Amino acid sequence: MKPLPFETGAGVGHSQSPLRIAMISEHASPLAPLGGRDSGGQNVYVAQVARHLGRLGHRVDVFTRRDSPTLPAVVELADGVRVIPVDAGPPAPLAKESLLPLMPAFTREVAAHARRERYDLAHANFFMSGLVAAELKRELGVPFAVTFHALGKVRRQHQGQADGFPDERFAIEARVVGEADLIVAECPQDEVDLMTLYAADPEKLVMIPCGFDPEEFWPGGRAEARAALGLADGDRVVLQLGRMVPRKGVDNVIRALARLPGELRARLVVVGGESRRPDPALTPEIGRLMAVARDEGVADRVTFVGSRGRGELRDYYVAADVFVSTPWYEPFGITPLEAMACGVPVVGANVGGIAHTVAHGETGYLVPPSDPDALADKLALVLSQPRLARRLAQLGLQRVHALFTWEKVAARLADAFAAAAGRRPAQAPTAAFAAVDRGFDDLLAVLSRAKTCLRDDIVRAADLVSGAFARGAKVLVCGNGGSATDAQHFAAELVGRFLAPDRAALPVIALNADTAVLTAWANDVGYADVFARQVRAYGRPGDVVFGISTSGRSANVVAALKTARDCGLRTFALLGGTGGEAGDLADCALIVPSPDTQRIQEVHTLALHLICELVEARVAPSS
Ligand SMILES: O=C(CO)[C@@H](O)[C@H](O)[C@H](O)[C@H](O)COP(=O)(O)O
Ligand SMILES: [Zn+2]
């Protein structure tokens, strides 16, 4: 059967033929729960890159050490993506520092698969997997790419004697750097370290960052999240989330908390550890941090949460006023991206990947690691200025969507892998096709997020509007540019006909449609009050003022909502991004989870149509 056009959307498409990829990640399994000593960003990276390569039409087998006897021989992770647990050592959790002697057994099993599957390329994650891939290349000629995630020489500089890896690691890394066909650096610092400490060939280096998943992390729902987590609405909440090991510098965050001025008392929420309930016996770092909190006199304001599943993390992010991460060093650091994706400003250490992902003074602040005074200064700045915090959050959201989605990361990796595997893109897509595809893909992603988070709000908005009509009241709607046409569109649907052929005319007035009033007031007085003036003229108690703005920051829309409030009218706003000032003013705010004006407008049209449909059904129930 001929596929319908929309069935061909995802896939390798015109740019590449599918690759068969052996992804090797000896200790970091995409199936592991996160937050434990050895499970963090690398697990997320492997899972997301594998899934997104699968979505692009490539076939991926992820090889990871079997750490439980109950795992089946093969686990289907997604379409075209399998996890294959490898028998090497006891089928139980082991510290990653003890895995090197198990690599010959690991290599034998991967090689047996590789003989059958004829992979085009291996993608090694971490130095021990690099060793496995280098052996595969020697034995079977499979080219390989490597993402180190962390470098032994950098770790040794920072951790000294606490570094439990053998010195052998340095020689293995050097061999892997020399024999790899492609070396993926995760941030500019990683690239420099690879060149200066390991003499990596710049021709083989490519800088591709880590990412976040917009279907997993988006802003909004702070009040609900706080209620679910038992955090008070008015509390100042600082969030720390990640693996619980000394190098993450959580003690520094506790010390900074103690240095905040009295009027900015805040609660520090610490998510992470080996168990769901924080247990110093299982996570010694928690015990150490509890003692630091006691010594600093802030034990009552530090909440240790324990580890949480991926699906639970968004609540913690959106509930926070500020996210903080001040490790001693950080090969990449995915959590700051996730925080920004949830519309939360970040204060991070000026090291490694964080120095690249957080734009200082724009999406948050960078501070030296292990400097609680510097951290307290910036936390105080963000906590004391809500407007500044909102602006940082908005720019952070834009930045992560522009640069750091897993979809974009995987597409760049796939191109680099194809080249390393000796494949050139079959036919480079023209810029025009690429732009069209991107538009559709972006909108589909926003729609899928919006479906979950706007459902309730759309029904609430329809209640508000139909309630007004039932009382004999009307709706005054306004917006600028594209949102002005949306306002008129909405009025036309309800004044005129929508789905029901025969129903009463419904009173909706688009305030941006009266050119004479607009131009006179803008010309004589100012543009900021063109809608507020009309709200005063037409608004009667019981009416609804409905503002449409993709940013939530248009002064005239904000003024209309304020005036409505002052006059005792109800308010409703259709917004995007972080919701801006309009989001705080409206009785009911519908915020499209995207920072992109055009995608927000496209979802606004759908929301308006759905509201019309629900309102009309109430006005003229079908018989
Ligand atoms: O349609 C578009 C952009 O797609 C523009 O006309 C856009 O609506 C205008 O720039 C508006 O002035 C933006 O205002 P707002 O959505 O931030 O309230
Ligand atoms: Zn537009």
**Whole-angstrom distance, CA of residue 601 vs CA of residue 122:** 42
H or E, element range at 64: strand 59-65
185 and 329 in a single domain? The answer is no
Is the pLDDT assigned to residue 36 strictly greater than 90?
no
Quick one: how far is CA 246 from the chain centroid? Answer: 25
Quick one: how far is CA 351 from the chain centroid? Answer: 20
480 and 601 in a single domain? The answer is yes
ipTM: 0.90
Is the pLDDT assigned to residue 432 strictly greater than 90?
no
CA of 513 to the centre of ligand 1 (A): 16
> Is 43 part of any known ligand binding site?
no
Residue 3 has a pLDDT of 28
Residue 452 has a pLDDT of 85
DSSP helix/strand/coil, 454? helix
Worst-scoring range by mean pLDDT, 76-90, 149-163, 341-355?
149-163
Backbone φ and ψ for 220, nearest 5 degrees, come out as 105, 160
Residue to mutate (ligand 1; options 483, 548, 581; most atoms within 8 A of CB): 483
**Whole-angstrom distance, CA of residue 537 vs CA of residue 531:** 10
Chain segment 461-472, per-residue pLDDT in tens:
999 999 999 999
Q: Is 527 exposed, middle or buried (0-12, 13-18, 19+ CB in 10 A)?
A: middle
pTM over 0.90: no
For residue 597, which ligand has an atom nearest its CA? 1
> Is 125 part of any known ligand binding site?
no
203 and 233 in a single domain? The answer is no
Residue 71 binned pLDDT confidence (cut-offs 50, 70, 90)? very high
Chain segment 211-220, per-residue pLDDT in tens:
999 999 999 9
Read off the CATH number of the domain in which 595 is found.
3.40.50.10490
Q: How big is the chain, counted in residues?
A: 623
DSSP helix/strand/coil, 462? helix
Chain segment 94-129, per-residue pLDDT in tens:
998 899 999 999 999 999 999 999 999 999 999 999
Residue 298 has a pLDDT of 97
Residue to mutate (ligand 1; options 398, 477, 530, 597; most atoms within 8 A of CB): 597
207 and 236 in a single domain? The answer is no
Worst-scoring range by mean pLDDT, 155-164, 310-319, 402-411, 587-596?
155-164
203 and 251 in a single domain? The answer is no
382 and 457 in a single domain? The answer is no
> Structural domain tally of the chain?
3
475 and 591 in a single domain? The answer is yes
387 and 481 in a single domain? The answer is no
Average pLDDT on 248-272 reads 97
Q: Is residue 430 part of a domain?
A: no
Is the pLDDT assigned to residue 431 strictly greater than 70?
no
Is the pLDDT assigned to residue 596 strictly greater than 60?
yes
Q: Domain of 84?
A: 5-211+415-420
- Is beta strand 508-510 parallel, antiparallel or unpaired with respect to 475-479? parallel
Is the pLDDT assigned to residue 622 strictly greater than 80?
no
176 and 270 in a single domain? The answer is no
Is the pLDDT assigned to residue 15 strictly greater than 70?
no
**Whole-angstrom distance, CA of residue 329 vs CA of residue 207:** 18
Average pLDDT, the chain: 91
**Ion ligand 2 contact residues with beta carbon within 5 A:** 482, 601
Residue 69 has a pLDDT of 94
Q: Does ligand 1 have an atom closer than 6 angstroms to the CB of 597?
A: yes
Residue 379 has a pLDDT of 98
CA of 33 to the centre of ligand 2 (A): 42
395 and 465 in a single domain? The answer is no
Q: Is residue 444 part of a domain?
A: no
Residue 425 has a pLDDT of 43
Is the pLDDT assigned to residue 438 strictly greater than 50?
yes
The answer to whether 557 and 479 are in contact (CB under 8 A) is yes
Is the pLDDT assigned to residue 383 strictly greater than 70?
yes
CA of 484 to the centre of ligand 1 (A): 8
Q: Does ligand 1 have an atom closer than 6 angstroms to the CB of 394?
A: no
Residue 583 has a pLDDT of 94
Residue 155 has a pLDDT of 79
Chain segment 328-367, per-residue pLDDT in tens:
988 888 999 999 999 999 999 999 999 999 999 999 999 9
Q: Does ligand 1 have an atom closer than 6 angstroms to the CB of 549?
A: yes
Give the residues across from 475 on adjacent strands.
508, 544
**Whole-angstrom distance, CA of residue 605 vs CA of residue 135:** 56
For residue 482, which ligand has an atom nearest its CA? 1
Q: Is residue 428 part of a domain?
A: no
Residue 60 binned pLDDT confidence (cut-offs 50, 70, 90)? very high
Read off the CATH number of the domain in which 168 is found.
3.40.50.2000
Residue 430 has a pLDDT of 58
Q: Is residue 442 part of a domain?
A: no
Average pLDDT on 589-598 reads 94
Is the pLDDT assigned to residue 2 strictly greater than 90?
no
Q: Does ligand 1 have an atom closer than 6 angstroms to the CB of 578?
A: no
Residue linked to tokens 């690599």 = 103
Q: Is residue 438 part of a domain?
A: no
Cα 171–Cα 175–Cα 176 angle in degrees, nearest 5: 115
203 and 254 in a single domain? The answer is no
Residue 11 binned pLDDT confidence (cut-offs 50, 70, 90)? very low
**Whole-angstrom distance, CA of residue 577 vs CA of residue 550:** 7
Average pLDDT on 418-437 reads 68
Q: Is residue 433 part of a domain?
A: no
Q: Is residue 410 part of a domain?
A: no
Chain segment 205-239, per-residue pLDDT in tens:
999 999 999 999 999 999 999 999 999 999 999 99
Q: Which atom of ligand 1 is nearest to the CA of 484?
A: 8
Of all residues in the chain, the percent with pLDDT exceeding 70 is 94
Q: Is residue 461 part of a domain?
A: yes
144 and 262 in a single domain? The answer is no
Residue 278 has a pLDDT of 94
Residue 16 binned pLDDT confidence (cut-offs 50, 70, 90)? low
